[in-house]
Amino acid sequence: MRAVVVWGIIGLLCLGKESLFAQISRGGLPVDIISQKKVGREHVWYKTPVSAIGIQLKSADKDQDNEVAHKPLKCAFPFSISLSPSNSGEWKIQNNYRIWMLGIESEGALSIGLGFGKYKLPPGAKLYVFNENRTDIIGAFTEFNNKDFGKFTTMPVHGDKIFVQYEELIDSEFEGELEISRISHVYVDLKSVDPRRPLDLSGSCNINVNCEIAEEYSNVKNSICRIYIPKPKEDEVCTGMLINNTANNGKPYVITAAHCIENSTQAQESLFLFNYESPYCGSVDGDNTHSLEGSSLKARYDSLDFSLVELSVAPPDYFRPYYAGWDVSGDAPSRSFAIHHPQGDIKKIAVDENQPTTATYNRDYISSSFWKISRWEYGVTEAGSSGGPLFDNTLRVIGTLTGGIATCSNPVSDYYEKLSKSWNFKRTSDKQLKYWLDPANTDEKKINGYEPYSGELKCGAFTNFTFTDTTQLKRITETIPSNGYLTGTNKSGYTEFAEKFSGLKNGNLHGVSIGIAKKYIANATRDVIIGIKVYDGYDLPQNLLHSQSFVLNQLAAGAMNYLAFSQQVSTVGNFFVSCSVTLLNPGDTLALYQAKRTTADNSFFMKTTQGWTDYKTITGSLSGSALLMELIACNIDKSFYSPILKSGTNEIVVFPNPFSSGGKLTVQLPGKIRNSTDINIYNLLGQEIPFQIISENTTNVQLQLRDARMGIYLLQIESDKKKYTAKISVVP
């Protein structure tokens, strides 16, 4: 099991303690009264004045092309309005609730976001926002989303027609205060559900974060967030980062660029999306439900281009947050890397193998206050990357992106503000970082990152996909498409599809993200149900530990979809997570992604009326596979995985692992190695790494990597006509 361990929504169908956090919702579904509404009546619908948008769009495109220096992503046009239950929409009494509904249309919008200038709900009240065919539903938002500053912003909902539905108990303690003060006409598809936004909007040279980062850097990547910032002229998307302070107290500070968050109002209305990434190296759209709303501006200075905000609530344990360490010494590192959201895309990484230099960005900024990346060796930054951090080779942040001219065709000249300058260049607390990040005035110049959760609250994300796997969707019979899929609906009697998770000693499962490859609902007017189950068992699924139904209509094809369990599920040792298609209606289709691999490693099992069988036995394949699932578990043991990788019933043992660069690595095999040409070592970009054979016999090889950088490498060996792959870790 590859364990992407990340110590530590607008989540559909989430219950329990998740309700205690902002923009995270209580889940559930709105009362179904759409069919009873006279939606054609003018006072039930509000239509934005889109006639002027076409002219503005052309102007915005031109401005964005010319504004190549700064790198925010312009994405939406806002309309200032005042819509409330007292002046618009329609009320209805149903099931002890007073229900208010308003339809909103913004013709041609890819999605619509809402800003509430007034938001104060009483206990028991629920607010939902959803699109016309109910494939994208967010909420329920409740009293737990109330804030001192009385505002609330929603993630965009897919489509150019949406509904706002407010449900309040007839005997409520008080009447809720709701006023929609802005409607955002989103023209860059940041969030869609069916179909989901197209992947790879960013340039082809960008590298997914789990290609390069892997286990060694997994904590760091979990500090990154995508920020949606409502603005008066055009909404923007930037990148930000959770940053630690010398008190190590989990204060949820986020740093980004000053040209991204420009004032307190924008800080209050911004949305912060965490964990938006593909769970492996390939391009599958990430789950986009781990978001928080609202912050307070603590410090900002235009001339050094930084903004520091404090989130309205801290990210919860199952977000697996990490507060990045920093270095404000001003010393230039030997190499650096950046993690960011170019074009609002899933997390990407850019690497500079050389030392950054001190530079001046332009005359609007203080001279000699920026790190200049002369040329990226891997990846690049784009619009949407603004505010993203630059890390040194010790995994500490040294700056945030202001802008530059780097593109895939010419990856040169990006500029990052220096944290060492922003630290205390200005004396007042609202224009410096030191006051906030060194509250005890320790005068530390370097600190490590911080993991805020431990014990039962320490969480991780786990997947069996390896760095060399690619996704595939396989039919039962390629020549007869109607027979269905090996990982979903079919005519061969396969009803349930399970993924085996091994090596986790114990854990409390919060939920699972499933990679849906194909989805079709024959009758969109009714809900289609899938079942997610958890079993214990060693070789095959045995005893049922948990079973829960989810609405397929609200899930996205071509993407990861997070499904939160209604209660934590405790496991010990091996266990299985399955997806059942028995509740689908005739004509409906569902299929999950599976791994395409050449090795025998298998964790994929299928169920028929005869019981459970592994994928290789059913297909007769020598190669194994895995379902694309990412499990979220807490109360995890840090030493949960073994360096032993199994190929069938044989084992390859690598030790010591991790090992130091220049040290000796021993490899044991059950079969015979014909010669050293059967051994290859690659970095995570697929480049072959030189090594030296120190000694060898028929089953053991001792080798040495000289001058290898810290990181994860892939060891591939062919023995007795079988191929083995192991991950090896080089440490300083």
Residue pLDDT, tens place only, 119-157: 999 999 999 999 988 888 888 899 999 988 999 999 899
Which of 536, 330, 326, 513 shows the shortest CA–CA distance to 418?
330
CB of 610 within 8 A of CB of 618?
Answer: no
Return the pLDDT at 584.
93
- Both tokens of residue 452? 């805020």
| Residue type present at position 55 | I
Return the pLDDT at 52.
58
In a domain, 266, yes or no: yes
Q: Which domain holds residue 347?
A: 206-445
The count of residues in the chain is 732
| Residues of the chain predicted below pLDDT 50 | 1-23, 34-42, 55, 58-68, 192-199, 214, 638-650
Residues 264 and 393 in one domain: yes
Residues 162 and 230 in one domain: no
| Residue type present at position 1 | M
In a domain, 27, yes or no: no
The whole-angstrom separation of Cα 537 and Cα 603 is 13
Residue owning tokens 């006509």? 721
| Residue type present at position 683 | N
Return the pLDDT at 219.
76
In a domain, 189, yes or no: no
Return the pLDDT at 50.
80
Number of domains in the chain: 4
Residues 551 and 670 in one domain: no
In a domain, 394, yes or no: yes
Residues 474 and 594 in one domain: yes
Of 588, 605, 632, the position where a domain reaches its end is: 632
Residues 343 and 400 in one domain: yes
Residues 402 and 272 in one domain: yes
E strand residue ranges, 132-252 = 137-141, 152-153, 157-158, 161-169, 177-186, 207-208, 224-229, 235-243
Residues 562 and 661 in one domain: no
CB of 728 within 8 A of CB of 715?
Answer: yes
Return the pLDDT at 685.
55
Residues 420 and 463 in one domain: no
User: Apex CA 639: angle with CA 638 and CA 642, to 5°?
Assistant: 145
What values do phi and psi take at 221, rounded to 5?
-65, -25
3-state helix, strand, coil in the chain (%, to 5): 10, 40, 45
Q: Which helix (H) or strand (E) holds 74?
A: strand 73-83
- Both tokens of residue 377? 């060796």
Q: Could you tell me the CATH number of the domain that includes residue 131? A: 2.60.120.290
User: Apex CA 546: angle with CA 543 and CA 550, to 5°?
Assistant: 135
- Both tokens of residue 317? 């344990």
Q: Helix (H, G, I), strand (E, B), or coil: what is residue 552?
A: helix
Q: Could you tell me the CATH number of the domain that includes residue 351? A: 2.40.10.120
Return the pLDDT at 675.
54
Of 117, 149, 184, the position where a domain reaches its end is: 184
The whole-angstrom separation of Cα 431 and Cα 265 is 17
CB of 487 within 8 A of CB of 497?
Answer: yes
Residues 488 and 621 in one domain: yes
- Both tokens of residue 129? 């926002």
CB atoms within 10 A of CB 697: 9
Sign of CA dihedral 18, 21, 22, 26: positive
The whole-angstrom separation of Cα 55 and Cα 4 is 46
Sequence-ordered list of residues with C-beta below 8 angstroms from that of 8, at least 6 positions apart, any chain: 222, 317, 318, 319, 320, 321, 322, 451, 452, 453, 457, 458, 459, 460, 634
CB atoms within 10 A of CB 37: 16
DSSP string, 245-268: -TT-S---EEEE-TTTS-SHHHHH
Residues 214 and 311 in one domain: yes
In a domain, 21, yes or no: no
The whole-angstrom separation of Cα 50 and Cα 185 is 9
Q: Could you tell me the CATH number of the domain that includes residue 683? A: 2.60.40.10
In a domain, 372, yes or no: yes
> Residue 455: left (phi > 0), alpha (psi -120 to 50), or beta?
left
In a domain, 34, yes or no: no
CB atoms within 10 A of CB 716: 15
Residues 167 and 251 in one domain: no
In a domain, 463, yes or no: yes
Residues 233 and 325 in one domain: yes
CB of 157 within 8 A of CB of 111?
Answer: yes
Of 445, 471, 489, the position where a domain reaches its end is: 445
